[in-house]
Amino acid sequence: MPKAQLRTAVYPGSFDPITNGHLDVIERACRLFDRVIVAVAHNEQKAALLSIDERMQLISSVTSHLKAVEVATFDGLLVEFARNSGASTLIRGLRAVSDFEYEFQMALMNRRLAPEIETLFLTPSEETSFLSSRLVKEIARLGGEISPFVPPPVSKTLKTLFATRRKKSPRTRNPRTITRRK
Ligand code: PNS
């Protein structure tokens, strides 16, 4: 089928790194669309752990079983990228009420900018709805086990990265207490 006739959706995000929650949303989107472009945003205001290339490679490797998925990166406005990609829909995962305000504001703003593009919210599975890239990074940085939360290549990448960092700058692992003399 020519690309113009495919039902195309863009799933944008930072994906720093991709988690099982993101993957769950991607799999759901693939049941609804012929083509799902997972689009990694360039955001110079947000300090990232992984480079854009590393994030794209990880996404590509963990979605290799999904034929509808394309991995891309974009700079500038999301709606412009969606338009140029021939997408009719933006996908966002909605995990909890706490996500809602930000997502609602973004969806309405994107609608103002591009009324022909819809935002579709997908609910991730209960098992993954508490996950966030930020928490995964924090756990990995502190030496915790992240394999239940991210696909194996992501777990491996983060473990290696933080193990190297810990070797370079070891820190005190013992919590300290102050004992008052009575
Ligand atoms: O995973 P994130 O960090 O919550 O994703 C946020 C993202 C990348 C979707 C958002 O920041 C975005 O759309 N950035 C592109 C710039 C843009 O279009 N901004 C206007 C949004 S209303």
Other CB atoms closer than 10 Å to residue 166's CB: what's the count? 14
Interatomic CA distance for residues 17 and 60, integer angstroms? 12
Interatomic CA distance for residues 156 and 27, integer angstroms? 22
> Tell me: the pLDDT tens digits for 8-61?
999 999 999 999 999 999 999 999 999 999 999 998 888 999 999 999 999 999
- With a 6 Å cutoff on the Cβ, whether 41 touches ligand 1 is yes
pTM (predicted TM-score): 0.93
Name the catalytic one among 31, 46, 65, 176.
Answer: 46
C-alpha 13 to ligand 1 mean position (Å):
6
- The helix or strand, by DSSP H or E, that contains position 175, with its residue range, turns out to be none
- Write out the E strands in 63-140: 69-74, 89-93, 118-122
- The helix or strand, by DSSP H or E, that contains position 132, with its residue range, turns out to be none
> Tell me: the pLDDT tens digits for 87-121?
999 999 999 888 999 999 999 999 999 999 999 99
